[in-house]
Structure 1
Amino acid sequence: MERTRRATRTVSRTLGALGAVLLVGSIAYVGTGYTTTGIDGDGMRPAYGTGDRVLLERTGAGAVRRGDVVLHRSPGRHGELAVLQRVVGVGGDRVAQRPEGPVTVNGEPLAEPYVLGGAPSSGTALAYDVVVPEGRLFLLGDNRGNSLDSRHFLEDRSGTVAEHAVLARVAKDRSVLCLTGLAALLGLALVLGAIVAEIAGRAKHPARRHPAP
């Protein structure tokens, strides 16, 4: 009987320790890998507008791809504030546009269903033809008629920003985050179960008191 009780307690404490690892690890992963930001401006409408809150995943230089929406802070631009914009070109790409024409990347018209009104050149007559330097990014806002993006800084390294200026990118796939949340819930359940089992065990089998000599 005593051996069974000890074995049950050992299993309970082991599961509790596993639960603690799952819970703490999940919280640490989310805390270090993800963040959120509020949008103050309409440069990325219609996808993101003033007052929206966006989930971001932290990413390192070299991990950013065309089409990613990134939060970046570039010295000398936007009053040193972090800005949300879309990556159109990466190192080595030739990005060009004529007034009233589509954006082209390496000579191919870019499909941009995310652009406000469906017109990439809406509200602007800016024309450009640049080659993105290695280690840098060409960024545009989805609301082309109201976005202070790479087109407005062409005299500064073709309007591009350094990859290391990217702070995070909008999380596209939230499945990992959902799985992490489930792992945290499982961990919490295991920890609570272990605590309840420990309390129940002590209530059922109180510690023996030895008489004083």
Structure 2
Amino acid sequence: MPENPGGHAKPKKPRSFWKELPLLVGIALVLALVIKTFLLQAFSIPSNSMQDTLQIGDRVLVDKLTPWFGSEPERGEVVVFHDPGGWLPEQNTEQNFVQTAFSFIGLMPSADEKDLIKRVIGVGGDTVECKKGGPVEVNGKPLDEPYLYPGNAPCDDKPFGPIEVPDGKMWVMGDHREDSLDSRYHTKTDNGMVPVDKAVGRAVVVAWPLDRWSTLPVPDTFDQDGLAAKAASATPAALGLAGAIPLVMWRRRRRHAQAAGETAGPVSIKG
């Protein structure tokens, strides 16, 4: 006698959790790798240079997506960038297999990557300056810097400027000014500038430890009127003029053509 007289297929027995586990782990690792490569990456803070905004051991999430769409670092943002050359000392980069695997998928920082984190003060076209006893100035506008480490002056340990930031570069400084080897201390190499293409992305969130969870917004002082460089403020007018010239030339050619047609009159075709 058949075991299934109704002709219905027997339901398949679900696979055990332990058989599904390798597949789930594989999918999780692929997703982690995609997220690290294109969306977000976690970085650990190794030094005091960004105190009190960031503490040693904080984990920040860095937005790596917007640079794919051509976005460049802006004033006031906290950015992670690759060492432009000679900013970090040589160090032992040996790590075990587990550390290598976890850093590959973004769960741990890689010992091979030489990355720094600072705040962007000036971008291409800006003029930055700071005299002893005074504030940091961008294009002649003083910055109000509430993020500075308590007791630190804006630049008394290392005044600078005026320095013009070339296009495609940025001038960066740490929030703990008296404990930050930032652009001020590397003027012998490319005048302290960091190439924009060295930027990994903008740090947007302090994600760990949980009791320090917070966002990293751009301070209001970078939104003040007149901070933009003169060249940047003239750009809309220049673009408008460039767009108007072809239109004016087209209209002039059209008027000349009409006038020529009226003068010549109709043309007859001879057989």
TM-score by length of 2: 0.50
Letter in 2 for 1:113: P
Tell me the residue number matched to 2:258. none
Letter in 2 for 1:91: G
Aligned-partner Cα distance in 1 for 2:169–2:43: 23
Structure 1 segments unaligned to the other structure (5+ residues): 1-22, 175-213
Aligned to 2:185, the other structure's residue is in SS state helix
- Asked if residue 126 in structure 1 is aligned to residue 156 in structure 2, the reply is no
Tell me the residue number matched to 2:173. 140
Distance 1:118 1:105, change over 3 A: farther
Root-mean-square deviation over aligned CA pairs: 2.5
Aligned-partner Cα distance in 2 for 1:96–1:38: 30
- Asked if residue 65 in structure 1 is aligned to residue 71 in structure 2, the reply is no
Aligned-partner Cα distance in 1 for 2:39–2:151: 33
- Asked if residue 92 in structure 1 is aligned to residue 138 in structure 2, the reply is no
Within 5 Å, give how 1:46-195 maps onto structure 2: 46-58=52-64, 59-60=66-67, 62-73=71-82, 74-79=84-89, 81-117=114-150, 119-121=152-154, 124-171=157-204
Letter in 1 for 2:61: L
Aligned to 1:70, the other structure's residue is in SS state strand
Distance 1:76 1:119, change over 3 A: closer
Aligned-partner Cα distance in 2 for 1:33–1:63: 16
> What is the CA deviation profile of residues 148-202 of structure 1, one whole-angstrom value per residue up to 9, with x for unaligned ones?
0000012222211100011121126x9xxxxxxxxxxxxxxxxxxxxxxxxxxxx
Tell me the residue number matched to 2:111. none
Aligned to 1:71, the other structure's residue is in SS state strand
Tell me the residue number matched to 1:202. none
Tell me the residue number matched to 2:245. none
Letter in 2 for 1:77: W
Deviation of residue 123 (structure 1)? Answer: 5.8
Tell me the residue number matched to 2:259. none
Aligned to 1:65, the other structure's residue is in SS state coil
Tell me the residue number matched to 2:20. none
Pairs aligned (count): 150
**1:115, 1:143 within 8 Å by CA — same for their partners in 2?**
yes
Deviation of residue 125 (structure 1)? Answer: 4.1
> What is the CA deviation profile of residues 76-106 of structure 1, one whole-angstrom value per residue up to 9, with x for unaligned ones?
2213721100000000000000012100000
Name which of structure 1's ranges 56-65 and 108-117 shifts more when overlaid on structure 2. 56-65
Distance 1:111 1:118, change over 3 A: farther
**1:91, 1:137 within 8 Å by CA — same for their partners in 2?**
yes
Structure 2 segments unaligned to the other structure (5+ residues): 1-26, 91-113, 208-271
Deviation of residue 124 (structure 1)? Answer: 0.8
Aligned-partner Cα distance in 1 for 2:157–2:149: 13
**2:132, 2:156 within 8 Å by CA — same for their partners in 1?**
no
Q: Higher RCO, 1 or 2 (CA under 8 Å, sep at least 6)?
A: 1
Instruction: Please state which structure has a larger fraction of its residues in helix.
Output: 1
Distance 1:123 1:49, change over 3 A: farther
TM-score by length of 1: 0.63
**2:50, 2:176 within 8 Å by CA — same for their partners in 1?**
yes
Tell which structure's C-alpha radius of gyration is larger: 2
